[in-house]
């Protein structure tokens, strides 16, 4: 199976599971479920769930699509989507479009978008609590990973706050690093760690996956910043060049485009290196690292 | 110890634990921690934590302030505070004051208030994952209770949505019931259930506490609606009479004041009845039921 075929198959699997795990549109109160589904099924590439499933496969050597792994994978996409809905709100980034579609608050209004974000967060936790492991301690580990990666201290919310407060500040390498490690890095790192935990990986394997996640996460963010500068609004499906217009701190702003590209490649190399103790089961993680650096959108 | 002394002692205990469990104001990024603490320490009566701790005591017969029970109690207050911060936002209830103090978004701005709500939710889950039980399955049960009570289906968010959509609709008894069972009822019910679970209660005890929680929750909401009509803005610490101005569906609007008062007393009686299988350990739960109906603010 080519990587492209693999990704499409995994996306379908994740989409089907998300559909199963999210209350249907007709469930009372219907508006909130429509708003949640609007953003959850707005064409996301499911990078975090696929990283989670691929990390599980790296640990066991066989394709991992047990309920436990799928639930962990879906919880990550729910958290990611909740963060996008809140980030897009007028009080935050004020984005009207995301992945080429109108954002949640443009369609359902601000009140419903705030609650839809809250609800997807809640659903992510609910989803993890319904996993049936022989050892319930593993469920607690998964919830611990997800909640700390989403939090204020070195987590997603903390990164978002630092990002907001960093606007119009002098862009330094330290500030940039601290924002991205938290804002996008923590959840990408949690994605592979959670896959490893759900598949029963040992401490050494989880540590190796952590390192992979950190490098891939940093590469991902560097490429995201480069694309924001390079791509036209149409191709990216969101308002491009917006980072610069908002005075956001980005890798190209601190290091320039050329050096940023070199840094992305270096992080990719380190990601590959982190996987050295895994066998063939890690093939997809290797391929995904390359894809993240080479992507055009 | 009188009930008043008991409540003050419990409040102090909860406040101290919340302070310990919440990142300090100086922790980076400081703004979000200040915003979280602004609302967390704005003079709340800690009803949910005290219900949780008292339910634990009903189960074991001794005063319960183990780490497990305290963490469960604090997670409830964090969720409650997150819901208040988001409810008060301009896009939702647009309240400038809460408990006589300026609301989170008035002090820290809308962006930070949205994120502070998100962060308190995250912290509630983190807090539960750090409980050390001999059986980790009990932690999973606590997180399941809290997350389902906060969700869209018969939970807090669902009730909030139905409430928003119910504005300007014809106030029927069915609509009123469905809003309050979800909006405030689910979390109050979860408060006593989680206390029971944290203290190792059996299925029958948890069921009895559930019934108590439902009746007390309904009584609480009826009295809240009555107070909104009766009290002046000053005494209540929030803009009174606002329910009516916003066209919210309330018990006095559907049943009238007199019948609402009778209903609150009836729910109180049923709450007492639910506790019949417990011994003296349930004394405080009995007293709290009475207090909820008799309170003046």
Q: Do A144 and B164 touch (CB under 8 A)?
A: no
| Predicted pLDDT of residue A164 | 87
| Predicted pLDDT of residue A296 | 80
- When comparing pLDDT for A284 and A163, which is higher? A284
| Predicted pLDDT of residue B247 | 72
Average pLDDT over residues A82-96: 96
Q: Tell me the per-residue pLDDT of B187-241, one tens digit each, with 9 for 90 and over.
A: 999 999 999 999 999 999 999 999 999 999 999 999 999 998 887 555 555 555 6
Q: Tell me the per-residue pLDDT of A31-64, one tens digit each, with 9 for 90 and over.
A: 999 999 999 999 999 999 999 999 999 999 998 8
- DSSP 8-state assignment for residue B184: I
Instruction: Answer yes or no: are the C-beta atoms of A50 and A288 closer than 8 Å.
Output: yes
Considering only the beta carbons, identify the residue of B89, B112, B147 that sits closest to A122: B147
Average pLDDT over residues A201-217: 97
Q: Do B23 and A119 touch (CB under 8 A)?
A: no
Average pLDDT over residues A195-224: 96
Average pLDDT over residues A89-107: 95
- Kindly provide the residue ranges of all beta strands, DSSP E only, lying in chain B, ordered along the sequence: 97-98, 101-102
A109 touches chain B (CB under 8 A): yes
| Predicted pLDDT of residue B201 | 96
Q: Omega into A198 within 30° of 0, i.e. cis?
A: no
Residues of chain B scoring pLDDT < 70: 168, 232-242, 244-245
Cβ under 8 Å to B: A residues 204-223: none
Considering only the beta carbons, identify the residue of A31, A135, A139 that sits closest to B165: A31
- Reduce the secondary structure of chain A to three states and give it as a string: CCHHHHHHHHHHHHHHHHHHHCCCCCCCCHHHHHHHHHHHCCCCCCHHHHHHHHHHHHHHCCCCCCHHHHHHHHHHHHHHHHHHHHHHCCCCCCCCEECCEECHHHHHCHHHHHHHHHHHHHHHHHHHHCCCCCCCHHHHHHHHHHHHHCCCCCCHHHHHHHHHHHCCCCCCHHHHHHHHHHHHHHHHHHHHHHHHHHCCCCHHHHHHHHHHHHHHHHHHHHHHHHHHHHCCHHHHCCCCCHHHHCCCCCHHHHHCHHHHHHHHHHHHHHHHHHCCCCCHHHHHHHHHHHHHHHCCC
| Predicted pLDDT of residue A295 | 86
Mention every residue, 6+ apart, whose C-beta is less than 8 A from residue B29. A152, A158, A161, A162, A165
Out of A23-32, A287-296, B165-174, least confident range: B165-174
Nearest CA in chain B to A145: B126
Among residues B198, B197, B184, the alpha carbon closest in space to that of B267 is found at: B184
Pairing mode of beta strands B97-98, B101-102: antiparallel
Query: CA neighbours within 13 Å on the CB side: how many for A245?
Result: 9
| Predicted pLDDT of residue B152 | 97
Write down the mean pLDDT value for chain A. Answer: 93
Considering only the beta carbons, identify the residue of A27, A119, A161 that sits closest to B32: A161
Mention every residue, 6+ apart, whose C-beta is less than 8 A from residue A137. B136
Q: Do B140 and A136 touch (CB under 8 A)?
A: yes
Query: What is B3-291's CATH topology?
Result: Farnesyl Diphosphate Synthase (1.10.600)
A99: confidence class by pLDDT, cuts 50, 70, 90? confident
ipTM for the complex shown: 0.95
Q: Tell me the per-residue pLDDT of A222-271, one tens digit each, with 9 for 90 and over.
A: 999 999 888 755 555 555 566 766 777 889 989 999 999 999 999 999 99
Q: Do B118 and A117 touch (CB under 8 A)?
A: yes
d(CA B84, CA A249): 32
Residues of B in contact with A135 (CB under 8 A): 136
d(CA B12, CA B65): 12
Give A3-294's CATH code, choosing from 3.40.50.740, 3.60.40.10, 1.10.600.10, 1.10.10.10: 1.10.600.10
Backbone phi and psi for residue A173, each to the nearest 5 degrees, phi listed first:
-60, -35
């Amino acid at each position: 199976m080519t990587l492209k075929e693999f990704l499409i198959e995994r996306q379908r699997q994740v989409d089907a599971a998300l559909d199963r795990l999210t209350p249907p549109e007709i469930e009372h109160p219907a508006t909130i479920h429509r708003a949640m589904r609007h953003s959850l099924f707005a064409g996301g590439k499911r990078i975090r769930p696929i990283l989670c499933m691929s990390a599980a496969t790296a640990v066991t050597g066989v394709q991992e699509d047990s309920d436990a792994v799928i639930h962990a994978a879906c919880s990550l996409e729910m958290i990611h989507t909740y963060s996008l809905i809140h980030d897009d709100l007028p009080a935050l980034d004020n984005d009207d479009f995301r992945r080429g579609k109108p954002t949640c608050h443009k369609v359902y209004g601000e009140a419903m978008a705030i609650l839809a974000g809250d609800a997807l967060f809640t659903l992510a936790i609910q989803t993890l609590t319904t996993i049936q492991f022989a050892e319930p301690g593993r469920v607690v580990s998964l919830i611990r990973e997800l909640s700390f990666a989403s939090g204020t201290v070195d987590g997603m919310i903390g990164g978002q706050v630092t990002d907001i407060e960093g606007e119009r500040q002098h862009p330094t390498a330290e500030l940039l690093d601290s924002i991205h490690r938290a804002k996008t890095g923590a959840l990408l790192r949690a994605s592979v760690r959670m896959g490893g935990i759900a598949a029963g990986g040992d401490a050494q394997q989880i540590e190796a996956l952590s390192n992979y996640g950190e490098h891939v996460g940093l590469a991902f963010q560097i490429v995201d910043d480069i694309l924001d500068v390079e791509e036209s609004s149409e191709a990216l499906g969101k308002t491009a060049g917006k980072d610069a217009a908002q005075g956001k701190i980005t890798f190209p702003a601190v290091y320039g485009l050329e050096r940023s590209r070199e840094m992305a490649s270096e992080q990719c190399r380190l990601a590959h290196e982190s996987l050295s103790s895994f066998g063939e089961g890690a093939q997809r993680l290797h391929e995904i690292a390359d894809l993240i650096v080479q992507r055009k959108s």
